[in-house]
Structure 1
Amino acid sequence: MAERELRGRRRETAALDGLISAARTGRSEVLVLRGEAGVGKSALLESLVARSGTCRIARAVGVESEMELAYAGLHQLCQPFLELTDRLPRPQHEALGTAFGQQSGPAPDRFLVGLAVLNLLSDAAAEQPVLCVIDDAQWLDRMSARILAFVARRLAAESVVMVFAVRDGEDHELTGLAELEIRGLGAADARALLDSVLPGPVDPRIRDRIVAETRGNPLALLELPHAWSLTELADGVSPGTLASRIEEGFVRRLEVLPADTRRLLLTAAAEPLGDPALLWRAAELLELGADPAAAAIESGLITFGRHIQFRHPMVRSAAYRLATPQERQAVHQALAEVTDPDADPDRRAWHRAHATARPDEDVAAELERSAVRAQARGGFFAAGEFLERSAALTLDPDRRAQRLLAAAAAKRSAGALEAALELISGAVAGPPNAVCEAEAERLRGEIAFDQGRAREAARTLLGAARLLDPHDPIRARVTYLEAMSAAIWASGPDAPGILAFAAAAAPPPVDSNPPADLLLQALALRITRGYSAAAPDLIRALDHARRADIGADDIGSWLWLSGNRVSGIVAIEVWDFDAALELALRQDRMARETGALVQLQFALSFRANLQCLTGELSAVAGLVDEDHQIAASTGNPRLAYGALLLEAYRGNEVVARQLIDATIRDATEHSQGRMAAFATYANSVLHNGLGKYDVARDAALQVFEQDVVGYGVLVVAELAEAASRTGDTKLVESALAWLTERVTTTPTAWGRGIEARVRALLGADENAYLVSIEHLSQTSLAVEVARAHLLYGEWLRREGRRVDAREQLRTAHEQLEEMGLEAFAERARHELLATGETVRKRTPDTLTDLTAQEAQIAGLARDGLTNVEIGAQLYISPRTVEWHLRKTFSKLGISSRRQLRSALAR
C-alpha cells in the first residue's frame, strides 16, 4: 500500500530524507508540505516516519472541530515528552502546565509556553533526534499553531525536525518557513495507480481523461472509482470541484452503510480525541446495533485500534455533513454525557453547546466557565469562541450583551480585531444599557489603537472614559490613561489639538493608583501649562514610577505605563537619562520574564534608541535583530525606532533614507504623528553626520516647532548644530532660549552639557565648549561626548589653532570610529586632514565578522549569564546558544568564556 501510494515521489522523499540526515549531524530542520486535498501529503508524512530509523517521533493532527480548544494540538505533540517537563526552568514548567490544564495559575503568555516547548524538544533530542510531524496544520487551534510556528522559527542546533502538512487555499500561521509544494503524480505514475484500482479494462481515452482532470491527485485516483461509475467519471471531473467530488464520493460510500454504522461514524467524526472507550460509551447511550463497527471496518473508511483513525480527513467531514441536524445534536448530547466533567469540562461544554438548538442558560453558563478556564491558560481565541456561543444561547438581553462584549475583548486579545468589532456591534444592538455602551466604546477605542488609528482611538477612548465615569470611576481613569497614551502617539501637525483636548479632559488625581494618576496629572499639566509649570510634577511622577512595587496583577498595567509609552517619555522630557535607561531595562526584563513579546518589542526599541546615544551600536544591532525575529514570530509589525536611529548614526544614507521615508509615509497614513516626528528627528541626525546641514536644519526645525513631548530634548542639539553651520543665528538663539528655560528648571548634567554646547555654537565661547564636554562626560552619553569634541575641534581649526584642533579631532575621530558612527567619524577625519594630519580609515577587525545575534549572545555570556539564562532572554534553546558561542569563539580566536571580555574589547 505504502509503496503504491508513493509512486513518483523520488524528489519529495529525497528532500525529507535530507532533513533526517541533517538532524543526525546536530542540525534542526523545518519544512512545510503544501498541496491540495488528497495530493499525498499525509502519505509522505507516514513514509517519513517509517524511514526515520532511531528518531523519536512526535505527532499532531489538526481537526476542524478542535480549532476552538486552545493548546489541543500542542498537547498532542508534546505528549511523548511530558515526563521531561521537570527539567524546564520553573516559569516555563508552570506556563506549560497551566496551558495543558495540569495546574492552575495566571494566564501563561503563549511565547513563554513556546520557549518551554522549544526546550522540551531540545532536551528530548539530546538523547536521539526528534521528528515532529504535524498533519492538517491549517486546522490546528490558533494557540497551538502560533506556538509551533514560533518554535519552528527558533530551531537551530537541537537535532529536531519539524514537518508540517497544510492544504492549499487555507489560512495558516507558517508563512515564511521553508516550503515544498506537493503536486499531483506524473501521467505515467498516475495511469499506473489508476489501473491498480479499476475493476477491469477501461477505454484508454477515458482513463487518460480521468488522469488529466484529477491532475494526478493520488486520493482522487484511488477513491473516485469506488464511488463513481466509469460512465460518470467519463463525464469529466472539473478541476475546480475536485475536492468536493472526492468528498461526494465518500458520501456515496457512506450512504450505502447501515444506519447504525453511519451514526457510529458520525459519533467518531464529532469527537476528535480518537478514544475508543469514549466512542463505545457514546454508542451504548445512542443504542446502536450489536456490532455497528463491522461494516465500517469492511468499508475501509475507518480503523479501530489504540486510536480511531479515518482514512482521510474528508471522510470525517463527509460523515458529519451527511447527518441531519437532529442526528448531530443527538450525537453531541451522548458525547457530552460520557465526557468526564472533571477531567475535560471544556470539551463537555462544547458538546453540550452543539447539542442545544435553543437558548439554555445552564449550557450558556457552563460555556462561560469554560471561557474563564481557556483565558486562564492564555487561550483568548478559544475563550472568545466559548463566549460567543454562550451569548447565542442566552435569552436575557443584558446578560447576552455582557457575554458578547467579553467575547469581543477575548478576540481582541487574540488579535482577531475585525471579529471583535462585529461582536461589539451585536452587543449594543439590544436594549439600551449605559454601562454596556460605555464598555463597547472603550473596546472600540482600544481596537482602533491596535490598528494604528491613534487619533480616532484617542477621541473614542475619551468618550468612553466620560461614559464610564458615573458607573465605574476606577475603570474610567484607566481609560483616560489609555486616551492620553493614544493622544501622545497621534499628536502632530496633521492632528492639531488632539493632545491638548485629551489633557484638558483628564480628571484630577485620586489615591487608587498613585504612579498612574501622577503621570496623568503631570502630562496634562505639561500640555496645558508648559514645561516649567509641569516639571516638578513630572519629576515626582517619574520618581513614583521608578519606585513602584509591582505585584503579579499589576505587571500588565506597569508594562503599558513604562518605557516609551509613558514613563520613559517623562524621563527623557526631564533630561534624566539614567532613569530612562533604568525603566527600559526593567521593561525589557519584565517583558521577558512574563513572555509579553509585544511589550518586549517596545522595550527593545526604547533600549535601542537609548543605547544609540551611549554608542553601543553593536548591541543596538542585536536589539533591532531581535525585534525583527519577534515580529516574524508573532505576525505583528516591526517597530522602526531602533533601526531608524541606528542607520542614521551609522551614516548609511541609502538604507536610512528608505527607512525614514517609509516610516513617515506609514505614520502619516495612520495618524501617528509621534512616529513621523521620530523619523524626522532621525533624518536630522543622518544629515548632520553627512554634513548636509540645510536638510538637517529643516528636519530638526519641523520636530522642534511641534513641541513633541520627549523629543525636543533630542532634537534641539541637532537643530542648533545645523543652524550654526548654515548661518541661521536666530534659530540658534531660539534653541538656546528653549534650553535655558528647561535647564534652569531641571539642571541635570545632560541638559547643562547640551545648553553649554549651544551657547558655544552661538557665541564662539571656548569655555562653553569645555563646560559642555565636562558635563556630558559625567553621563553615559558617549555619542554626545564625542560630538562635543568634534564641534570643539572644528571650531579650533576654523580659528587657525591647528595643534589644539588636532587633539580634539583625534579624540573625536577615535571615539566616533570606535562606536561605529561612520559619517561623524568621516567628518572628524576630513577636519584632521585640513589640519595637515594624515588619518587612515580603520579596517574592520575580527568583531565585525560576528552576526548581530552572535554579538548579542557573546555580550550576555561575557556578563556572566549561563546558556539557559541567555536562551530564556533571547527565546532560543540553550543548545542553540552553545552553537552560536562555538562559532563566536572560532571567529574571535579564543577558547573560553573568560577570554570574551578582552576579545570583545579589542
Structure 2
Amino acid sequence: MTVISQFRLDALPSLTSTSVNLRGRDRECRTLDALITGVTSGSQVLVLRGEAGVGKSALLDYAAAQANGFKILRVIGVESDMELAFAGLQQLCAPLLDHLDDLPEPQKAALNVAFGRGIGEVPDRFLVGLAVLSLLAAAAAVQPLLCVIDDAQWLDQVSVQTLGFVARRLLVEPVAVVFAVRDRPDVLAGLPELPVEGLSDADARDLLDGVMLAGIDSRVRDRIVAETRGIPLAILEVPRNVSATELAGGFWISGKRSSTAAIEEDFVRRIRALPPETQRLLVVASADPTGDAALFLRTAAALSIAVDALGPAEAAGIIEFGPRMHFCHPLMRSAAYRAADLTDRRVVHRALADATDPQADPDRRAWHCANAALGPDDSVAAELEASAGRAASRGGVAAAAAFLERATTLTADPELRGTRAIAAARAKREAAAPEAARDLLAVAELAPLSDLQRAQVARLQAQLQFMGSRAGDAGAPQTGEAAALLLMAARGLDGLDDELARETYLEALTAAMYAGRLGEPGLLGEVAQAGRDAIARIAAPQRPIDLLLSGMTTRILDGPGAGSTHLSAALESWNTNAQNETGPVQNWPFPIAQESAAHELWDDAVLQQIATDMVRRARDGGALAMLPAALVYRAGVHVYTGEFSKAAALLEEADAITAATGHTPMKYHSLTLAAWRGIPAEAVELIEAAAADGLAKGEGRLIGVSAFTSAVLYNGLSRYEEALKAAQRCCEYEDLGFHGWCLYELIEAAVHVGDRESAEAALPRLEQRPGTSGTEWGLGVVAAARALLASDDDAERLFVEALELLEAARIGPHATRARLAYGEWLRRMNRRTDARTQLGKAYADFTEMGAQAFAERARRELAVTGEKVRKQPDASGTELTTQEAQIARLAAEGHTNSEIGAQLFVSAHTVEWHLRKVFVKLGITSRRQLRHAALPGW
C-alpha cells in the first residue's frame, strides 16, 4: 500500500513576503544567513520556537529565499491528521527517492516498508532514521539541501522522532534542517534553538503603519501594539478585522491580550461572512490535509458545489487553489474547520471518504469514515482496526494506538469494545503514552470482560505503574509497590494463561530486584516463591524465560550456587538464538535478571558471548532501539576486562544514541567505569546523584550500586575508612549480580584499616558465592581475598594462585589488584626487589587501563621501595577521539564506509570525514596501513 501523505510541499504562507526585509527580525535573519552559509563546512540544524502567529513561517520563507543553489524540501504538520505513521517523513523524502538504490539493502528495505512501498518485517524506527540520514547524504552529494519543517508539533509522532534523530546524527553533510515549532515536541529539545518573540514596540508600530491604508491615531496605534504584543500575524490582520469605528474609538479587544485563540477567532468571523457554499468548500480543504486538488474536485462534485464557489475565499486571502490546495496560514485551516458545525463536518468527511481511493489510501479513508460517523459503527471500527494492523506493520506504534483508540470509541458491541480497548491500551503503553493507556483500561473495565481479559488489564496496569516508578514520574508508586502489583497480576493469570503468568512472575521478580533494600522486607522472597510455584506446575522448563525464572527463584530461595544449571541453560539458549536468528532483532526482555544471572555464574566466557552477540545483532539488524542497552552491557564487560577506553567509547555512543532517541541514559555501568577510573571530581558527583535518584524512585538497587562503586573508588584512592563504610552499606542487602564483588571490597578495606573481624566475617560469605562457581574468575577472587587474611606462610601461595586464575580468566582489573596486593605484602615482608617487580607491573597495567587511583596507589608503594617511577607523558593532542578510534578499527577490519556508517548510525560521508582526520593523526595515507597502525585503546 502506498501512503498518501497529508502534508503540502508548496504551502508557503503569503502574509509576509520574503522579497521584503522582515521588520524587526535582523537578529533572526542573521542567524538564518549564517546557517545557510555554514552548510559549506558541515550540517546545520536550528529549531525556531515561538507561539502561533509570531512569524516563524515567514522566517522559514526567508531561509528558503536565501538558499540559492539548494534543493529545498518542505513539509508542514497538520493537527487534524497527525496519526498516520511516517506520513510527514515520506512527504519530506518523496523528492529524494530516486537515490533509494544508493542505500544499503537493510536501510532501503526498512524505508520501503515504512512508506508502504513494500512488504517486510516491522522496521526498527531508528533504522528508518538511518535510512533517511543516508538518503539525505546521497542527495546532498549532488546538491546542498535545506529541509524546512513547519508546525513540527503537528507531525505524526514517529516522523518527528525520526527527524529529531536525523538532526542529531548529521555532521559533515551539506544539509541544513530548520524546524518551526510552538511549545513541543520535547524530542527536539537540546537541538540548537532560536526563540522567536513578538516585535519590539517600535517595529510593531512600523508594521502597523505599513498595513493601514489610512492614518491612525497615535494613541489607538499604541493601544493596538500593546494588545497584539508585537505578534506580526495579529498586526497584519488588524485592517481586515477591525472596523474604522473601532479604530477611531480605540476599543478594539479592549482589555484583552492577543492570543492564538483570539487570532483564530478573527479568522472564524471572516470565514463565516463568506457565502455558505464557499464555507463548505473551505471545510473540505481543511479536513483533507493532503492538499490534493483532484480529491478536492471530486469531493466538491459529490457535494454538488461548483469549484468557482471558492473564489471569495481566494479573494479574501484565506486559501490558494492550485495543483495543491493550501491555506495562507496554518491558523486559517483550523479556523475554517472550526467555523463549521458538527453536522457540516460529518457531511464533508463522508464525502471525502467516498472520494478517497480505498486501495491507494485505506487508512485515511478509514479516518474520514470515523469522523463522519454519527455514533458507534462496527463496520468503521473494523476498518480502523485493520488500519492499526497496517500501521503496526510499518513500525508506527503510535499510529496503531490512535487507530485502535478510535476503533474502541466506535465499537457498539460491548465485548468487542473491551477487547479493542485492551489492545489499544497495550499499543499506547508501547508508544510511551501511559495516561492514554490508563484511560483505555478504564474503558475496558466497564465492558463485560472474561476472566483472562480482566487479568490482562491488571497486568497492563501493573506494567504502567512499574514504568512510571522507574522513570521517576510524579505520583508514580515506589518501585517496590509496582513489584507487588505485578505479583498480584501474575497470580491473577494463573490457570488462565500460564505462559503469560510465568512471564509476569519474572517481571515482578525483576521489579523486586530493582526495589532491593527499599522494598518491603521479604518482598523478593515472596515473589521468588510464587515464581517457583508456577514453575513447579510444568513438567520441565523449556523456554529461556522459564529457565531463567527457575534459576533465579532457586538462587534467591536456596542461596548462593543454587539454580546455576537452569541459569546457564537460559543464557545459552538466548545466546544460541542470538547467533542463529536472522529476523527482527529483539532485546532481552528481562535485562536485569539476565545480566545478574551471568554475574552470579562468575563466567567470563558467558559474559563475553552475551555482550558480543547483543551488540552484533543490534548493529547488523540496525536495531537502534535496543543498541544502547547492548552497548552499555558490552561496556560493562570491557570494564571487567580492564579495557576502559573501549568501555568509555561504547558508553559515549550509547549516550549519544539515547539523546538522539529521546531516552534516558542508563547509569549502572557508567558508575562502575567512573569508580575504576578513580577521578574523584568526576566519580563522586556521578555516584551521589545516582544514589539520590534511587532514593527518590524507591530503586534500592541503584543505592546498592552507588555504595559498591564508592567502595571501589575509595579503595583505589587509599581512603580505606570510607571504602569500608561504603562496602558495609552495600552489603547490608544482597543485590544479586554485584553483592559478591562488594564483599571483596569490604575485605580489602577492612584489612587495610585493621578491622580483621569484619574481614573474617565477610570471607565465608564470599567463599559461598564465587567460591562455589567453579570458574577461574570466581576461584581467583576467593584466592585473592584469602591471601589478604592469610598467615605469612600461606599468603604468597594464595597470591600466586589468584594471579594465575584471574589472568587465565582475562579479568584484568581484579588480576592487577591481586598483583598490587601481592606487591604490598612483599614490601611489608621487606622483599623489596620482588615487591618492585609486582608493583611495577601493577602500576604499568593500571596506567594502561586508565585506572588512575589504583595506579597512584601502586606508584606510592613503589616509591616506598626506593623505585623511581617515571611520570607518564602528557597527551600529545593528536590522540584519536572515541568515534575516530571506532571508525579506524572497523576500517582496519575491512569494512566499507557504508558498512561502518550502518554500524555506528552515521552517514558514509561522516565516516569518510573521520577517516581523513585519522590518517592525519596517525601519519598514514591509506586504509591498508590502518591494519598495522597502533590504534590507542583498541
TM-score normalised to the size of structure 2? 0.92
Q: Give the deviation of 1:594 after TM superposition.
A: 4.3
Rounded Cα–Cα distance in structure 2 between residues aligned with 1:380 and 1:36: 29
Residue 526 of structure 1 aligns with an amino acid whose one-letter code is: R
Residue 438 of structure 2 aligns with an amino acid whose one-letter code is: L
Q: Give the deviation of 1:540 after TM superposition.
A: 3.4
* Aligned positions of 1:786-801 closer than 5 A: 786-801=816-831
User: Which of 477, 490, 498 is 1:465 aligned to?
Assistant: 490
- What do the CA deviations read for 1:94-124 (whole angstroms, capped 9, x no partner)? 2111111112222222111111111110111
**Alignment-derived partner of residue 902 in structure 1:** 933
Q: Does 1:199 align with 2:213?
A: yes
Q: Which moved more, 1:139-148 or 1:744-753?
A: 744-753
Q: Which moved more, 1:646-655 or 1:836-845?
A: 836-845
* Aligned positions of 1:477-876 closer than 5 A: 477-492=502-517, 494-506=519-531, 507-508=534-535, 509=538, 513-548=542-577, 559-561=588-590, 564-742=591-769, 745-763=772-790, 764=792, 765-846=795-876, 849-876=879-906
Residue 548 of structure 2 aligns with an amino acid whose one-letter code is: L
**Alignment-derived partner of residue 105 in structure 2:** 90
Rounded Cα–Cα distance in structure 1 between residues aligned with 2:374 and 2:716: 70
Q: Does 1:62 align with 2:73?
A: no
* Aligned positions of 1:406-485 closer than 5 A: 406-431=423-448, 433-451=450-468, 452=470, 453-485=478-510
Q: Give the deviation of 1:593 after TM superposition.
A: 4.0
Q: Does 1:118 align with 2:133?
A: yes
SS of 1:491's equivalent in the other structure is helix
Q: Give the deviation of 1:5 after TM superposition.
A: 6.7
Residue 363 of structure 2 aligns with an amino acid whose one-letter code is: D
Q: Does 1:134 align with 2:145?
A: no
How has the CA–CA distance of structure 1 residues 882 and 714 changed in structure 2, closer, same or farther, with 3 Å as cutoff?
A: farther
How has the CA–CA distance of structure 1 residues 264 and 510 changed in structure 2, closer, same or farther, with 3 Å as cutoff?
A: farther
Residue 372 of structure 1 aligns with an amino acid whose one-letter code is: G
Rounded Cα–Cα distance in structure 2 between residues aligned with 1:555 and 1:502: 32
SS of 1:903's equivalent in the other structure is coil
How has the CA–CA distance of structure 1 residues 245 and 705 changed in structure 2, closer, same or farther, with 3 Å as cutoff?
A: closer
SS of 2:809's equivalent in the other structure is coil
User: Which of 221, 232, 252 is 2:246 aligned to?
Assistant: 232
Q: Which moved more, 1:864-873 or 1:542-551?
A: 542-551
Residue 401 of structure 2 aligns with an amino acid whose one-letter code is: G
Rounded Cα–Cα distance in structure 2 between residues aligned with 1:170 and 1:572: 42
Unaligned ranges ≥5, structure 1? none
Q: Does 1:306 align with 2:323?
A: yes
Rounded Cα–Cα distance in structure 2 between residues aligned with 1:321 and 1:29: 38
Q: Give the deviation of 1:560 after TM superposition.
A: 1.7
Q: Which moved more, 1:794-803 or 1:608-617?
A: 608-617
Rounded Cα–Cα distance in structure 2 between residues aligned with 1:225 and 1:420: 47
- What do the CA deviations read for 1:376-417 (whole angstroms, capped 9, x no partner)? 112111111111111111122221111111111111111111
**Alignment-derived partner of residue 17 in structure 1:** 33
Rounded Cα–Cα distance in structure 1 between residues aligned with 2:514 and 2:236: 59
Residue 559 of structure 2 aligns with an amino acid whose one-letter code is: G
* Aligned positions of 1:292-371 closer than 5 A: 292-371=309-388
How has the CA–CA distance of structure 1 residues 510 and 368 changed in structure 2, closer, same or farther, with 3 Å as cutoff?
A: farther
SS of 2:681's equivalent in the other structure is helix
- What do the CA deviations read for 1:641-689 (whole angstroms, capped 9, x no partner)? 2221121111111221111111112112222222222221111110000
Q: Give the deviation of 1:29 after TM superposition.
A: 0.2
Residue 177 of structure 1 aligns with an amino acid whose one-letter code is: L
**Retained in 1: the 8 A contact 2:18–2:65?**
no
**Retained in 2: the 8 A contact 1:793–1:806?**
yes
- What do the CA deviations read for 1:797-827 (whole angstroms, capped 9, x no partner)? 1111111111111101111011110000000
Q: Give the deviation of 1:13 after TM superposition.
A: 2.1
User: Which of 223, 241, 252 is 2:237 aligned to?
Assistant: 223
Q: Give the deviation of 1:640 after TM superposition.
A: 0.9
Q: Give the deviation of 1:551 after TM superposition.
A: 7.4
How has the CA–CA distance of structure 1 residues 848 and 414 changed in structure 2, closer, same or farther, with 3 Å as cutoff?
A: farther
Q: Which moved more, 1:792-801 or 1:697-706?
A: 697-706
Sequence identity percentage: 48
How has the CA–CA distance of structure 1 residues 208 and 586 changed in structure 2, closer, same or farther, with 3 Å as cutoff?
A: same
Q: Which moved more, 1:457-466 or 1:386-395?
A: 457-466
SS of 2:172's equivalent in the other structure is coil
Q: Give the deviation of 1:572 after TM superposition.
A: 1.4
**Retained in 2: the 8 A contact 1:809–1:831?**
yes
Rounded Cα–Cα distance in structure 2 between residues aligned with 1:99 and 1:493: 44
* Aligned positions of 1:28-47 closer than 5 A: 28-47=43-62
- What do the CA deviations read for 1:769-821 (whole angstroms, capped 9, x no partner)? 11111111112211122212111111111111111111111101111011110
Rounded Cα–Cα distance in structure 2 between residues aligned with 1:659 and 1:713: 23
Rounded Cα–Cα distance in structure 1 between residues aligned with 2:498 and 2:52: 55
Q: Give the deviation of 1:596 after TM superposition.
A: 4.2
SS of 2:188's equivalent in the other structure is coil
**Alignment-derived partner of residue 9 in structure 2:** none
TM-score normalised to the size of structure 1? 0.96
- What do the CA deviations read for 1:722-775 (whole angstroms, capped 9, x no partner)? 121122223333343234334553211111211211111111411111111111
How has the CA–CA distance of structure 1 residues 301 and 202 changed in structure 2, closer, same or farther, with 3 Å as cutoff?
A: same
**Retained in 1: the 8 A contact 2:878–2:921?**
no
In angstroms, what is the RMSD of aligned CA positions?
A: 2.2
- What do the CA deviations read for 1:580-599 (whole angstroms, capped 9, x no partner)? 12112212222334454453
Residue 886 of structure 1 aligns with an amino acid whose one-letter code is: R
Rounded Cα–Cα distance in structure 1 between residues aligned with 2:601 and 2:68: 64
Q: Which moved more, 1:326-335 or 1:848-857?
A: 848-857
SS of 1:225's equivalent in the other structure is helix
Q: Which moved more, 1:864-873 or 1:94-103?
A: 864-873
Q: Which moved more, 1:230-239 or 1:754-763?
A: 230-239
User: Which of 132, 157, 165 is 1:150 aligned to?
Assistant: 165
How has the CA–CA distance of structure 1 residues 318 and 409 changed in structure 2, closer, same or farther, with 3 Å as cutoff?
A: same
Q: Which moved more, 1:769-778 or 1:513-522?
A: 513-522
How has the CA–CA distance of structure 1 residues 823 and 210 changed in structure 2, closer, same or farther, with 3 Å as cutoff?
A: same
Rounded Cα–Cα distance in structure 1 between residues aligned with 2:877 and 2:797: 38
How has the CA–CA distance of structure 1 residues 170 and 616 changed in structure 2, closer, same or farther, with 3 Å as cutoff?
A: closer
Q: Give the deviation of 1:426 after TM superposition.
A: 2.0
Rounded Cα–Cα distance in structure 2 between residues aligned with 1:666 and 1:568: 22
**Alignment-derived partner of residue 295 in structure 2:** 278
How has the CA–CA distance of structure 1 residues 140 and 200 changed in structure 2, closer, same or farther, with 3 Å as cutoff?
A: same
Rounded Cα–Cα distance in structure 2 between residues aligned with 1:863 and 1:551: 23
**Retained in 2: the 8 A contact 1:224–1:246?**
no
**Retained in 2: the 8 A contact 1:515–1:548?**
no
SS of 1:240's equivalent in the other structure is coil
Unaligned ranges ≥5, structure 2? 1-16, 471-477
**Alignment-derived partner of residue 6 in structure 1:** 22
Residue 205 of structure 1 aligns with an amino acid whose one-letter code is: R
Residue 860 of structure 1 aligns with an amino acid whose one-letter code is: L
Aligned length: 902
Rounded Cα–Cα distance in structure 2 between residues aligned with 1:836 and 1:309: 83
Q: Give the deviation of 1:129 after TM superposition.
A: 0.7
Q: Which moved more, 1:501-510 or 1:844-853?
A: 844-853
Rounded Cα–Cα distance in structure 2 between residues aligned with 1:43 and 1:253: 22
**Retained in 2: the 8 A contact 1:384–1:407?**
yes
How has the CA–CA distance of structure 1 residues 282 and 498 changed in structure 2, closer, same or farther, with 3 Å as cutoff?
A: same
Q: Which moved more, 1:735-744 or 1:759-768?
A: 735-744
